[in-house]
């Protein structure tokens, strides 16, 4: 082979190897974390969720964030959740967090304003996280499901802002059965 062709050939080969590696990484991520929020859409429902007795009943609008410290999908919504807290806490909306049972970790400092709920009745039945449940001022579950559809969550693709806006304006919302494709980790809880 002549030297003049060696450099472009090596550069092309290197580009092909890099492109193959990127495709393999993307395919692995998509296969592992991009999945339906609920694999059993006909059966899945937020209806079993109940606020603990001390939070149940009429009061402020309450948002409960379900999260698993080991789930890489949390990174995609934590900045958005921080923005929600900054925007809606001054309006009187209360934010809570439920960590996957048996997991260890803590929310980032930017989410330190979320109050912890150790046990939320019905949480063992949620299919995946990150997820969110929102109760209206009457204490009724208004929304349960994912924050958004897709790999990341922001104000442009979020389901949450329109729900909080409607509830803040006194409009009724009932969206407790949802289906979305995005980055979610399974939330299996072994019952023993």
- The number of domains in the chain is 2
Q: Over its length of 192 residues, how does the chain's per-residue pLDDT go in tens digits?
A: 556 778 888 888 888 899 998 888 877 776 666 555 543 332 345 778 899 999 999 999 999 999 999 888 887 788 889 999 999 999 999 999 999 988 899 899 999 999 999 999 988 888 888 889 999 999 999 999 888 876 667 777 788 999 999 999 999 998 887 777 777 788 865 544
Does any domain span residue 169? yes
Tokens 């969550």 locate to 153
The C-alpha R_g of the chain, in whole angstroms, comes to 21
Same domain flag for 11 and 97: no
pTM score of the predicted model: 0.76
Same domain flag for 66 and 27: no
Q: Note down the domain range covering 23.
A: 3-33
Q: How far apart are CA 60 and CA 104, in angstroms?
A: 29
């Amino acid at each position: 082979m002549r030297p003049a062709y060696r450099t472009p050939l090596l550069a092309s080969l290197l580009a092909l190897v890099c492109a193959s590696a990127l495709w393999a990484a993307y395919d692995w991520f998509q296969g592992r974390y991009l999945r339906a929020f609920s694999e059993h859409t006909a059966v899945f429902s937020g209806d079993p969720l109940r606020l603990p007795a001390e939070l149940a009943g009429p009061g402020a609008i309450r948002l409960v964030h379900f999260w698993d410290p080991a789930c890489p999908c949390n990174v995609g919504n934590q900045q958005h959740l921080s923005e929600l807290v900054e925007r809606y806490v001054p309006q009187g909306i209360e934010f809570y967090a439920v960590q996957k049972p048996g997991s260890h970790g803590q929310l980032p400092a930017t989410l330190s304003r979320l109050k912890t709920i150790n046990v939320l009745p019905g949480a063992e039945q949620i299919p995946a996280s990150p997820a969110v449940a929102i109760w209206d001022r009457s204490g009724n579950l208004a929304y349960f499901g994912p924050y958004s559809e897709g790999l990341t969550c922001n104000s442009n693709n979020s389901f949450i802002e329109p729900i909080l806006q409607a509830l803040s304006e006194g409009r009724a919302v009932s969206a407790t059965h949802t289906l979305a494709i995005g980055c979610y980790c399974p939330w299996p809880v072994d019952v023993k």
